[in-house]
Structure 1
Amino acid sequence: MRVVSAAEVERYLTWEGLIKRLHTTFVNGVESPPRHHHAMHRPDGEATMLLMPAWEPAGYIGVKMVNVFPQNAQHNIPAISGLYLLSEGKHGQPLACIDGSELTRRRTAAASALAAQALANEAAETLLVVGTGKLAPMVIEAHASIRPIKRVLVWGRNPEKASAIAEAYADRFDTQVVSDLQDAVVQADIVSCVTLSTEPLIKGEWLTPGTHVDLIGAFRPQMRETDAECLRRSVVFVDTYAGAKGEAGDILQAIDEGAFRFEDIKAELAEVLAGTKPGRRSAEAITLFKSVGASLEDLAAAIEVWEAINQ
């Protein structure tokens, strides 16, 4: 069995290849049971273990184990860590143990970029990244691979971390650290949120026509990055209906507040990509994509890594 390091994942998972692989996998589909979601009560706070299995009907089999420790931010350690076990489908024999953290970072950002291909305006040039964790750089790179991003605004609770991200990409984009989130949202063509917030950061009243809102961070019912008005004003899409119904805090809390209904979701990503339901229908529409992560994304990314290594 091959052990695949984070450096190899970074090397072999190109944005073009990964986004194309994700597109194919979403359209063709895989078997993907609901992920196992376990709260762990630790001495220094609550953590989460996620187990995410998926398999092709006649092909690869995979499962990811992820540990989420929000309290790691206090120690300058990534909040998310894990591994992915990929097996072949004929006899179920393990092929590779792949670094799960890098795989997750890249597939998560790539899934949002894939959605943005259908939902964001083609001329989108200004990207606002809300959050300064390990996903923030991935979001910048992924969106820039599918839209003509020229300007990147970075907002975070830690100004030093925001500055570090802005400086890292200053040679590729016009980057700026912002402190006024409302003003930054007004300026942005794409607003990408990658936080572990439990309180709304983006308000619907701030959104302007044509904006695409990309919500990545909140993956549990008690988490949210937007208020209910944000959903009410937007054309809402999700990565999967099942994930949204079980874990998308932005949606579930807006429903509890009586401002949104699950039936108001226009489509899941596979329907948009397959052409059975439309994506963006006008340049002025405000679109919103809520993802909580799907095991088919991990399987697609793991297959892409494995086949790139062995080509």
Structure 2
Amino acid sequence: MTLTVLTDDQISGLVSNLTKEELQRFMGVLRGALHEYSTATTVPSKENAAATAAPEIHQPERTSINSKATGATTLFMPSSSSVGTGMKVVTLTSPSAEGDEDARPKENIKPTGAITLFSPHGTPLGFLHASTLTAFRTALASLLLISKRDPSSHLKTITVFGTGAQAYWHIRLSLLLLGQHIHQVNILSRSFSPPVSSLLKSFLTCPNREKEGWENTQFSVLTPAHNEYERLLKEQLLESDVIICCTPSTKPLWDGGILTSHEGRQKGRLIVAIGSYKPDMQEIPQEVIQQALKRHHHGVGGKHHWHWHKHAEEGGVVVVDTLDGALKEAGELIRAGCRPEMLVEYVCFFVCHS
């Protein structure tokens, strides 16, 4: 068998020029893969219409190691099914190293690594650079949720924390699919650094703005250096329809009271957080999660009960990729005291909203 090797530039070239129709096909493929993972059943397709047997899916919990030499964390993520085996290895700067002079890296290590694919018999089939692919795939999963919102009224303003590849792809795919409905994109960063300028320039100079329908979309950048940062941050959060968090933060990115106050609860928002991969990491204030999971008076006699995923449009649950992984690794959920019944995996959400 031929071994396929794809560099980061090659992968970037492939996904950077997608049409809206191609993006929607990617979304369908990912939705099917999530269904297959969560239910261990094969979703029949045109290419595999006769598929009925359940694949043997094994996805052990990912493991990690920390390097004292670099202060970085390396994650190992294996997965196997009836069609083959894959191993993803990614190295990135550990947030715990930021306050440790001995472990602090000489330079910030952006997420980088590779995915190795094998046939069911163990023959190597592919070796893919993981940087762009990881950011693209994560944003694609988020887009499955973002696209469920009413674009005419609940997608006008998007606020993004972060300026790296994850932030770029979350904004880029949202604009490609729903750009004609998005009026404002707010970007929040710790400082106005070269990556911020590069991120902003990539959208302001994008040649496809008019063709994709977002030529009138406005962009702004806000950093703590602004003398009215707290006021503007509050305004942007209150105006947001979607908030996307793409940082390796170990503390909440904003004061939870902004969105749990009476003023903050006047409108519903989708909050997407992808940064936490350790229990000590946190992007969303725990009170925001607890507010979303509060019990409501419904049913006979006004008894309390949880809003399950069938009523997700009213809130009441947190949508996650995997229940076990989220409860062990997502610091926000751990701090908020989330239990399994308060979470729902992607596939259950989409089954109830298809």
Match of 2:43? none
Match of 2:250? 198
**Residue 182 of structure 2, aligned match among 124, 146, 149:** 149
Cα deviations across residues 211-247 of structure 1 (Å, max 9, x unaligned)? 1100011111000001111102223211110111110
Match of 1:8? 10
Give the 5 Å matches for 1:73-152: 78-89=109-120, 91-118=121-148, 120-123=149-152, 124-147=155-178, 148-152=181-185
Match of 1:301? none
Give the 5 Å matches for 1:32-47: 32-45=58-71, 47=72
Q: Which amino acid aligns with 2:133?
A: L
Match of 1:292? none
1:19, 1:78 → 2: CA distance?
A: 29
Match of 2:26? 18
**Residue 213 of structure 1, aligned match among 255, 267, 271:** 271
The CA RMSD measured in Å over matched residues stands at 2.4
Please identify runs of 4+ aligned residues in structure 1 that moved more than 4 A: 70-78
**Residue 237 of structure 1, aligned match among 291, 315, 319:** 319
Give the 5 Å matches for 1:59-70: 59-70=83-94
Cα deviations across residues 264-291 of structure 1 (Å, max 9, x unaligned)? 524111111233xx59xxxxxxxxxxxx
Question: Radius of gyration: which is bigger?
Answer: 2
1:142, 1:75 → 2: CA distance?
A: 33
2:275, 2:150 → 1: CA distance?
A: 22
Contact 1:204 1:231 in 2 (8 A): no
- Is the counterpart of residue 226 in structure 1 residue 284 in structure 2? yes
Contact 1:125 1:150 in 2 (8 A): yes
Secondary structure of the structure 1 residue equivalent to 2:60: coil
Match of 1:178? 222
1:145, 1:26 → 2: CA distance?
A: 22
Q: Structure 1-normalised TM-score?
A: 0.78
2:202, 2:111 → 1: CA distance?
A: 22
2:69, 2:87 → 1: CA distance?
A: 28
Quote the sequence identity (%).
25
Match of 1:262? 339
Q: Which amino acid aligns with 1:22?
A: L
**Number of equivalent positions:** 268
2:132, 2:61 → 1: CA distance?
A: 19
Q: Report 1 or 2 for greater relative contact order, CA contacts < 8 Å, sequence distance ≥ 6.
A: 1
Contact 1:65 1:83 in 2 (8 A): yes
Q: Structure 2-normalised TM-score?
A: 0.69
Uncovered stretches (5+) of structure 2, i.e. residues with no partner:
41-56, 99-103, 210-216, 224-228, 293-314
Q: Cα 1:33–1:132, aligned 2, differ >3 Å: closer, same or farther?
A: same
Contact 2:86 2:118 in 1 (8 A): yes
Uncovered stretches (5+) of structure 1, i.e. residues with no partner:
256-260, 280-311
Cα deviations across residues 49-86 of structure 1 (Å, max 9, x unaligned)? 211112233x1321101112247998665521110011
2:109, 2:25 → 1: CA distance?
A: 26
